[in-house]
Structure formats: structure tokens, C-alpha cells
Structure 1
Amino acid sequence: MKYKGVIFDLDGTLVNSLEDIADAMNKVLINLNYPTHSYESYQYFIGSGLRNLVSKSLSETHNHEQHIDKCYQLMIEEYTNNCTRKTKTYEGIALLLDHLISNNIKLSVFSNKSDELTKKITADLFPDIFENVVGLRIEELKKPNPSEALAICESLGLKTEEIIFVGDSGIDMQTAVNADMLAVGVSWGYRPEEELIAAGAKYVINHPLDLIKIIQPSDEAVLTQK
């Protein structure tokens, strides 16, 4: 078997966390008497870390570093207390993970969400599934910087060409390309297929079980190669 490991993005790939993230940020905005945003708008705020999401949520008038820091802390407090209130796994993810584990595929998570929250959500929704769960610890190391992905690869004892990187954003695909891993985009997340392809996706899959055919080409699954 060519591929022996999979690194998953979290938000928009394994779980739909959009509403919890948006609700937390909107509550902060309401308390400050600032305009709120729709769930659709937050789809395009997610992906570069929660601090960047806070910055994108604030108007230009209030978008200075000190105020961003204050709002970020308020958002983190609110979100930490409610980060799995509405968040749920996408249909088919549980079946996919069970299949991969049964075939001895090593599984990890790498997210631009803070490390603490990444670990909390993963532990709550996927107990004892992933060998590595890595969130944002140092701003300079967030995706598309491949350093953390390469560290995961080393910890798994695998070569980069043996790992598939799965995500829903252009940033995820850039990370995969930068790490010399197979870039697989998912169509059910927060970003359009065109963004995934432009950023280097080798495949874009429409259902979690479609990943199986990439790992085991003899299995029946539908996918589109780009």
C-alpha cells in the first residue's frame, strides 16, 4: 500500500464547526455594539486561525492590534465554553476513520485553530482515534508552513510521499504541496472547489469514503482527479 498515513484538517474537513465559531464571535460583537456577520460570511473568515478571524470580523475603524487582542481574548473565552455545542462530524467521517484504522493507516490532525481547542474538540468528538493532534502553537508555524506537518510525518515514522493531507481550503492544499504530501481537497467544507484546485489539490472528493479509493484503488469509490 503506497499511502500509510493521513493528516486531516479539522474545521470544514472532519467537523462542521462553523455555527459555534460564528456564534461565539457574534456574541462578542453584540456585547460591543458592533455589527454581526452571517454564517456564510464566516465561511471565508475561517482557515487562518481564530485571531485572523477576529480581525476579519471587525470593522476597519476598530481593526487595530490592541483591540484585536482584546476581542480575541473575549472570543476565545466564549468559544472555549461552547466549542462543541453545535459542532458535529460530517456524515461518513466515522465510517472512513473506522476503515482507515482497520487497515492500519496512521491518522493525525493538523489545524490552524489554537492547539488547546484543537485537542479539546478532537478529544470530545474523536476519542483515542488520532496519533497526533496539533493545533496552532506558534504563529509563524501555522499552515501553509509545512513544519508541523513534517514533524508529524517524522513522529509517525513515514516518508512524506506515504502521507495524504486532507483539507477543505487552499491553505490546506498549499501546506500539502509545501510538505511534498498528496493534496486531497474535500468539497463539503467551507471553500469552493476552484480554490482547492488552484492551490494544488491532486484530487477533490465529494464524500469521505471516496478517500478509500485513493488509498486502495481496487475499492469501489467515486472521485475526480484534477
Structure 2
Amino acid sequence: MKIKGILFDKDGTLLKFGSIWPKVIGDVIDDLLEMIGEEGNKTLKNELCKSIGLKDGVVDEKGILASGTSLDITRAFQDVLPKDIRYLHEWLSERVLEKTKQSIEHVESVCNLSPLFSALRNKGIVVGIATADDYETTALCLEHLGIREDIQFVGTADLYEKKPSSQVVEKFCEKFGLAREEVAMVGDTVIDMQTAKNSKSGFGIGVLSGVGSKEELEKLADFVIPNVEHLINHDKFIWEVKGDVRINERSFTA
């Protein structure tokens, strides 16, 4: 099997999840409480955090913040809030973008991405993003990381059906004339690995640089690696090192 394209999740896969999103969403919640006249209501803030899988700064790997969309967050918040808020989704999307801009210096890559993307270019691999974030926030983060020009396809939840739908993989394949089995999906959550399975991608590769645990990722992933640096070892992809077969132990260290 020859892999010709790779779809990367963004948060926890290319950029450090904990360096930005708990802070951003915490600031958004504070603004929301102020907007509805509940400023300083710690109980309500804790309930809002809990509704999306955030507790004491720790992100639940199966929670909404880990892999949900801005619409998912909106719905979770609305279920907790004491009253309905019109246009909450639009407000929340705008605030997340604004808070991300304000905290952009906290956006950090999980590792030095330059050697990886240089190697992918040299190998002729088509590179895309498949993320639960909205497009504008995604573009902002990619620009800050200095990898926007390395990404040929940006699949966000406001443009395509959210993961684990196979649509983002299908559109990626359609744009570049790829077969599904010629695409590898790389991500830090079970949702990413389910996306690989649902789309019948060539490989689903879990990374331990985000919120997902090795135990959960191994249930669906073909490979589990520490971070994206380990995709290539001595100029060979991990699936080439292993003889281009799916390994039973699921775990691989380059």
C-alpha cells in the first residue's frame, strides 16, 4: 500500500492542546457569564466547564472540548445556562476567534515541525488538516506556527461534516485524485481513529502528544507513536519500517 496523502488533526497533534484551549475557553466562559449577568458565579462556571469535559484544567479525552465543534460546545453550554440565548453559536465562534488572537503567543507546536514537513514535501506527500475547529481559527493557528504554506487542504467543521464523518477524507481524496487507502489519518483522539475507520483510510495513526491515552487509541489505531516526529524514521515511514503491514502490538517507537 502506498500512502500519497496525510490528513493531520490540529490540536494535540500539531499544536499543544493544553497551551491554548483551556485558557481560551475559560476566558470565553468568563465573558459569557458577564454577558448574562452571572459574573463571578463559580458554580455555574464549573458546570459549564464540566459540560464540555474540562475539570480543574484537565481535558477529558472523550469530552466535547477534546474533539467537539463550536456548535457542540454551544449546545452543551445552552443545556446548562439558566436561559436560552439567541445567536449563542455565532457569539461563541466570534469570541473563540478573538480570544485566540489575544492568546496567540501561547500557541505552540508539539515538536519542531519543519523537518517533518520538509520530508513530506520531498516525498511528494499531499498534506491536509482535518479539525473540529472553525476555519478562521484554524488558519490563524497555522499561520502562527509557520506551516500554513505546507498545508494543501484545510478541512474544518464549519466547511465539512464533523469527524468521525468520512466526508473530510472523501473531499480530500476528491480534490487530489487519491484513493481512500492512499491516505493516512493522524490524530490524538479516538474520534480521529474512528474517522480513519469510517473512511476506510489506509492507516489510522494515534499520537500521544494530545489528550488521547495510549489505552484508548490502541483500540482503533494501526500505530500509536509519541508524536508526529515519529512518522518518519531514517527516511522511512513507520508503515514502511514495519514492512507495510498492520502490526498486532499497535505500539511503535521510532
Identify whether the pair has TM-score above 0.5, normalized to the shorter chain: yes
CA 1:164–1:87 in 2, change beyond 3 Å: closer, same or farther? Answer: same
Instruction: Confirm or deny that 1:132 pairs with 2:153.
Output: yes
Point out the structure with max Rg over C-alpha: 2
Question: TM-score, normalised on structure 1?
Answer: 0.83
CA 1:82–1:21 in 2, change beyond 3 Å: closer, same or farther? Answer: farther
Q: Deviations over 1:98-146 (max 9, x none)?
A: 211111111111111002211222233213101111212257x111111
Contact 1:6 1:108 survives alignment (8 Å): yes
Distance in 2, Cα, partners of 1:72 & 1:42: 21
Distance in 1, Cα, partners of 2:19 & 2:75: 18
5 Å-filtered alignment, 1:19-168, equals 19-31=19-31, 32=33, 33=39, 34=41, 35=45, 38-41=56-59, 44=63, 45-56=65-76, 60-62=80-82, 64=84, 66=86, 68-69=88-89, 72-73=92-93, 75-82=95-102, 84-125=104-145, 126-138=147-159, 141-168=161-188
Which residue does the alignment assign to 2:2? 2
CA 1:22–1:147 in 2, change beyond 3 Å: closer, same or farther? Answer: same
Q: Which amino acid aligns with 2:59?
A: S
Contact 1:145 1:175 survives alignment (8 Å): yes
- Structure 2 gaps, min length 5: 34-38, 50-55
Worse-superposed segment, 43-52 or 112-121: 43-52
CA 1:2–1:124 in 2, change beyond 3 Å: closer, same or farther? Answer: same
Worse-superposed segment, 186-195 or 28-37: 28-37
Distance in 1, Cα, partners of 2:118 & 2:180: 23
- Regions of 4+ moved over 6 Å: none
Q: CA deviation at 1:215?
A: 4.7
Q: CA deviation at 1:74?
A: 5.7
- RMSD of the alignment, in Å? 2.8
- Structure 1 gaps, min length 5: none
Instruction: Confirm or deny that 1:201 pairs with 2:232.
Output: no
Question: TM-score, normalised on structure 2?
Answer: 0.75
CA 1:4–1:120 in 2, change beyond 3 Å: closer, same or farther? Answer: same
Percent sequence identity is 24
Worse-superposed segment, 77-86 or 182-191: 77-86
